[in-house]
Amino acid sequence: MKNKFLTNFKQAALGAAVCLITMASCDSDNNTERPSSFTLNREDLRGTITDGEVVLSSGTYKLTGKLEVSNGATLTIEPGVIIEATDVTTAQQEIRYIAVGQGAKINVKGTATNPVVMTATKKSAGAWGGLVICGKAPINKGQTATAEVSELTYGGTDANDNSGSVRYLRLEYTGYSFNEEKEFNGLSMFGVGKGTTIEYVQAYEGSDDGFEWFGGTVDSRYLVVVNKSTQGSSFVADDMFDWTEGWNGTGEFWFGWKTNDGNRGIEADNNSVNHKATPISNPTLRNLTLVGNRGGSTEDQAVKMRVGTNGNLDNVVIANWATGFDIQHDEGIAFINDGSLKATNVRFVNVGTKVKGSSTAGAAVDIAKMVTENANAVGAGNGVDQPDWAKGWTVGF
């Protein structure tokens, strides 16, 4: 017994000595960190992370320009960190946004009780850019393309590409606009692969879309959009959720709510130039609630699907919209006719026209068979009300 004790003591002492000599903690989290040449300045967060891992560990960081994570580098954000974009006061200043390039990773490690918050000093929609992630998964705009914001390359052939993990993140006051055709969303996912984790993310008071998928295969769960701003027509938000360019992922537990005159709950496209471009946008959505402001917008549709997108929706609650499902163009009508484009277990609450179809030529088409109703559908979990999983880490309810 005595010899065994001495042996164990020597082994423990040797392990402690190794930790001291290497000046590294013995816990697993610190052992995974890699040195970076990036200079981290809490009051002036901007620049390009080109190597290693940069960790934002506590408190508030002032985002004063573009923060880009490039190939081979990692940005890790610990629970409770606040990133606050400062005001853009002149046209010559850098736009504030965070972009993750191909081959780079972002790890947002928020929790239900201590989320990560990306916000702005100016508490109004469109104050800063938002978060952009570019991956190597397939798109239908070409094998690769250039992102409309960030100007980074995205797309490729790796459906399982991994851009990291984003959990319990709140994005506030995003949607900075260069012009009417070029503006940021809350979270923009360009060719993001299925190896990436996106869950428990809120887009709050953005001036463009809350979430948008540009192709890719990433799955996205537990997403929240809340828009209430009435500060002017340019800042009341576009769509809650938007996909295009061949997105083929799964969406589960989405909750969208607006009380202002913003646009649709979902705007869904395949490819506006070539409606049959492959891969065809064809996500599977489950457990979805979209609450609108009926009569408050000329684009008052809960779900608008056009230019060749397919999709499968189940357990959906649609409330307070002029139109529930608006399906446009011949390709979408064909998907309804072959049974692949459908919405099952749908509950309509205060919806004017439940379904509306039109051909490419603009002729009305009967698409009633697309929808199967269920008065007991619960959508994201609690019907038209805030679901339990969205309590505590979100705002605006």
Could you report the per-residue pLDDT of 56-98, keeping only the tens digit for each? 999 999 999 999 999 999 999 999 999 999 998 877 678 999 9
Instruction: Give the Cα separation of 208 and 391 in Å (integer).
Output: 24
Q: Which among 234, 239, 228, 256 has a CA at the least distance from the CA of 396?
A: 228
φ, ψ of residue 228 in degrees (nearest 5): -130, -10
Cβ atoms within 10 Å, residue 299: 16
Look at 13 and 379; give whichever has higher pLDDT.
379
Place of tokens 């609690």: 382
Could you report the per-residue pLDDT of 228-287, keeping only the tens digit for each? 866 554 455 679 999 999 999 999 999 999 987 778 999 999 999 999 999 999 999 999
How far is it between the farthest Cα atoms of the chain?
91
Could you report the per-residue pLDDT of 107-122, keeping only the tens digit for each? 999 999 999 999 999 9
What pLDDT shows up at residue 372? 98
What pLDDT shows up at residue 180? 61
Q: Which among 203, 275, 279, 273 has a CA at the least distance from the CA of 239?
A: 203
What pLDDT shows up at residue 179? 61
Could you report the per-residue pLDDT of 351-394, keeping only the tens digit for each? 999 999 999 999 999 999 999 999 999 999 999 999 999 999 99
Angle at 326 between CA 321 and CA 331, to 5 degrees: 165
What pLDDT shows up at residue 23? 32
Look at 298 and 126; give whichever has higher pLDDT.
126
Q: Summarize the confidence of residues 211-221 as an average pLDDT.
A: 98
Q: For all residues of the chain together, what is the average pLDDT?
A: 90
- pLDDT band for 183, please (50, 70, 90 cuts): confident
Instruction: Give the Cα separation of 307 and 101 in Å (integer).
Output: 28
Spatial neighbors of 227 by CB under 8 A, at least 6 apart, are: 125, 204, 205, 206, 210, 236, 237, 240, 257, 258, 259, 260, 262
Residue 100 pairs with which residues in a beta bridge? 69, 133
Question: Residue 28 pLDDT more than 50?
Answer: no
Q: Summarize the confidence of residues 144-154 as an average pLDDT.
A: 95
What pLDDT shows up at residue 375? 98
Spatial neighbors of 337 by CB under 8 A, at least 6 apart, are: none
Instruction: Give the Cα separation of 64 and 51 in Å (integer).
Output: 21
